[in-house]
């Protein structure tokens, strides 16, 4: 099993000068205590579907940088396009025409897009989407899903988050995902007050099984929005391009008014975009919304190359097929070992949980920990992603690894046997 001596040494050094040492997914200040210390903390380099940590361990990376890695780390075509632009200029006073090319690509690619607006982070564009819905309707309230995640700006933080005022979130109305009646009731209870409904295309809730929408859920939500003049915002920052190149709204048979994109949009170069229907354009035009790096040319060039290549090779189809093979292979391993492995979500954006009768998640976490320590990087709480660089050999390594580690976990926790 891998050791992380250098990672831990670097963590101590980081902790001297960085609040928490490491923040975000790796443990919010408790990085070293992250489940059983099974995760590497610092990366040395990455290529294709692999990352190598500072201790020299190699991982098949099913976290895909939490979404951006769709074509493989350091995809040669995307990175060549970025470097070509780098030689000409990046962050300049006057913008490069590559901005137009990128907007044209997005309009051509996304079903609901009549225009595109660029920023850097997913949170920049979810914020712009909410501002746009409010300005377009002259209303204040936003219906959001209980488990939704839309970034770290104040308006979308959970109630009780340190530093966030009640006044900043008092116009958020929370409903459970997939509960159309709850949404309808919320709309009835607040007549003429709802500016927008904001949701991810399906529920990628952390720590639990993911939930797909009921068959008629999205069409019913779409109609409700039409009937009441509510702006429908699909947050596709995480799922974008992995289910349907034309947008996850298109995948579920509807057309969003506003759609947010980030992560896979430039295969890891820093880019996010809001796209939307022509009816929403005036509202966006009225706003003063920008950032120093938002129109930098290199990530825009990378995005054009990413969108072009994704279409050419049918990246979405490849990621789906890889996910299907992965999930069915893992299921086979679980069945052969007589344990219950739940697999939820869609194949290119999936969640696995090893079930135990007490629902303690302890065998699950230890199992994931053992896999990570043998070179298969899977998050113990977050949904996973596939990318187009994963090979059958990577999948076979994953199955062999899963089999070996499951046997260890069953010995320790025989109660998980069916
Ligand atoms: N929306 C969704 C659905 C996300 O998954 C994320 C990031 N995990 C965001 C918004 C925020 O994006 P960013 O972290 O780039 O601001």
**Residue 269's CATH number:** 3.40.640.10
Give SS3 for 201. coil
**What is the position in ligand 1's atom list of the atom closest to the CA of 239?**
3
- One domain for residues 261 and 380: no
> What's the CA angle centered on 339, arms 338 and 341, to 5 degrees?
135
CB 242 near ligand 1, within 6 Å? no
Percent of the chain with pLDDT over 90: 91
Instruction: Please tell me the predicted confidence (pLDDT) of residue 20.
Output: 82
- One domain for residues 192 and 145: yes
Q: If you measure from the C-alpha of residue 344 to the centroid of ligand 1, how many angstroms do you get, rounded to a whole number?
A: 20
CB 69 near ligand 1, within 6 Å? no
- One domain for residues 228 and 214: yes
b vs e for 93-127, b when ≥16 Cβ sit within 10 Å of the residue's Cβ? eeebebbebbbebbeebbbbbebbbbbbbbbbbbb
Compute the mean pLDDT over every residue in the chain, rounded to the nearest whole number: 95
Looking at residues 139-164, what average pLDDT do you find?
95
Pairing of strands 172-175, 341-346: unpaired
Rounded Cα distance, 362 and 382, in Å: 15
How does pLDDT run across 249-294, given as a tens digit for each residue? 999 999 999 999 999 999 999 999 999 999 999 999 999 999 999 9
Q: If you measure from the C-alpha of residue 24 to the centroid of ligand 1, how many angstroms do you get, rounded to a whole number?
A: 12
- One domain for residues 129 and 9: no
Instruction: Please tell me the predicted confidence (pLDDT) of residue 24.
Output: 77
Q: Is the ipTM of this complex over 0.90?
A: yes
How does pLDDT run across 78-108, given as a tens digit for each residue? 999 999 999 999 999 999 999 999 999 999 9
- Write the CB contacts of 214 (distance below 8 Å, at least 6 apart in sequence): 178, 180
Rounded Cα distance, 93 and 316, in Å: 36
Domain that holds residue 339: 5-73+315-416
CB 121 near ligand 1, within 6 Å? yes
- One domain for residues 244 and 105: yes
- One domain for residues 291 and 325: no
- One domain for residues 33 and 122: no
Read off the pLDDT band of 36 (50, 70, 90).
Answer: low
- One domain for residues 269 and 294: yes
- One domain for residues 269 and 120: yes
Cβ–Cβ under 8 Å, residues 113 and 265: no
Q: If you measure from the C-alpha of residue 261 to the centroid of ligand 1, how many angstroms do you get, rounded to a whole number?
A: 9
Q: If you measure from the C-alpha of residue 158 to the centroid of ligand 1, how many angstroms do you get, rounded to a whole number?
A: 14
Q: Does residue 356 carry a pLDDT above 60?
A: yes
Q: Does residue 343 carry a pLDDT above 80?
A: yes
- One domain for residues 225 and 102: yes
Percent of the chain with pLDDT over 70: 97
Instruction: Please tell me the predicted confidence (pLDDT) of residue 34.
Output: 62
The alpha helices in 204-314, defined as continuous H runs, are 217-228, 248-251, 281-285, 297-312
Domain count, the chain: 2
Looking at residues 340-364, what average pLDDT do you find?
96
- One domain for residues 327 and 185: no
How does pLDDT run across 43-64, given as a tens digit for each residue? 999 999 999 999 999 999 999 9
Instruction: Please tell me the predicted confidence (pLDDT) of residue 331.
Output: 98
Q: If you measure from the C-alpha of residue 151 to the centroid of ligand 1, how many angstroms do you get, rounded to a whole number?
A: 5
**What is the position in ligand 1's atom list of the atom closest to the CA of 238?**
5
| The domain boundary residue, chosen from 278, 295, 312 | 312
CB 385 near ligand 1, within 6 Å? no
Rounded Cα distance, 281 and 261, in Å: 17
Q: If you measure from the C-alpha of residue 235 to the centroid of ligand 1, how many angstroms do you get, rounded to a whole number?
A: 8
Kindly report the pTM of this predicted structure: 0.97
CB 250 near ligand 1, within 6 Å? no
CB 27 near ligand 1, within 6 Å? no
| The domain boundary residue, chosen from 312, 338, 372 | 312
Q: If you measure from the C-alpha of residue 124 to the centroid of ligand 1, how many angstroms do you get, rounded to a whole number?
A: 9
How does pLDDT run across 315-335, given as a tens digit for each residue? 999 999 999 999 999 999 999
Looking at residues 336-358, what average pLDDT do you find?
97
- One domain for residues 120 and 237: yes
**Longest CA pairwise span in the chain (Å):** 65
| The domain boundary residue, chosen from 312, 346, 381 | 312
Query: What are the backbone dihedrals phi and psi of residue 2, each rounded to the nearest 5 degrees, phi first?
Result: -65, 155
How does pLDDT run across 6-34, given as a tens digit for each residue? 998 998 999 899 988 888 776 544 555 56
């Amino acid at each position: 099993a891998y050791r992380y001596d250098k990672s831990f040494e670097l963590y101590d050094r980081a902790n001297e000068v960085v609040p928490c040492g490491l923040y975000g997914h790796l443990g919010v200040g408790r990085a070293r205590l992250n489940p059983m210390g099974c995760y590497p903390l610092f990366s040395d380099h990455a290529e294709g579907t692999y990352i190598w940590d500072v201790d020299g361990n190699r991982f098949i990376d099913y976290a895909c940088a939490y979404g951006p890695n769709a074509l493989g780390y350091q995809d040669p075509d995307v990175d060549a396009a970025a470097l070509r632009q780098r030689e000409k200029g990046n962050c300049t006073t006057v913008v490069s025409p590559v901005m137009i090319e990128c907007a044209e690509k997005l309009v051509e690619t996304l079903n609901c897009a009549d225009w595109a607006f660029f920023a850097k982070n997913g949170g920049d564009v979810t914020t712009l989407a909410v501002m746009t819905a409010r300005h377009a309707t002259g209303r204040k309230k936003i219906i959001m899903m209980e488990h939704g995640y839309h970034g770290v700006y104040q308006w979308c933080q959970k109630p009780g988050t340190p530093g966030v005022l009640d006044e900043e979130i008092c116009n958020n109305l929370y409903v459970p995902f997939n509960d159309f009646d709850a949404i309808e009731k919320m709309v009835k209870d607040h007549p003429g007050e709802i500016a927008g409904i904001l949701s991810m295309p399906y529920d990628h809730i952390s720590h639990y099984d993911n939930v797909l929408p009921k068959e008629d859920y999205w069409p019913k939500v779409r109609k409700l929005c039409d009937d009441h003049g509510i702006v429908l915002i699909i947050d596709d920052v995480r799922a974008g391009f992995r289910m349907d190149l034309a947008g996850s709204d298109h995948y579920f048979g509807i057309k969003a008014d506003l759609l947010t994109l980030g992560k896979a949009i430039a295969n890891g170069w820093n880019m996010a975009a809001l796209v939307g229907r022509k009816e929403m354009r005036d509202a966006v035009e009225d706003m003063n919304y920008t950032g120093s790096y938002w129109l930098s040319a290199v990530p825009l060039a990378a995005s054009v190359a990413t969108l072009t290549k994704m279409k050419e090779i049918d990246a979405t189809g490849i990621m789906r097929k890889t996910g299907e093979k992965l999930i069915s292979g893992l299921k086979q391993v679980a069945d052969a070992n007589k344990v219950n492995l739940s697999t939820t979500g869609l194949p290119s954006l999936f969640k696995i949980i090893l079930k135990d009768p007490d629902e303690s998640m302890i065998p699950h976490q230890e199992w994931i920990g053992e896999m990570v320590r043998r070179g298969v990087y899977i998050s113990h709480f977050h949904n996973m992603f596939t990318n187009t660089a994963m090979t059958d050999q990577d999948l076979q390594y994953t199955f062999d690894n899963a089999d070996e580690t499951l046997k260890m976990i069953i010995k320790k926790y025989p109660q998980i046997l069916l």
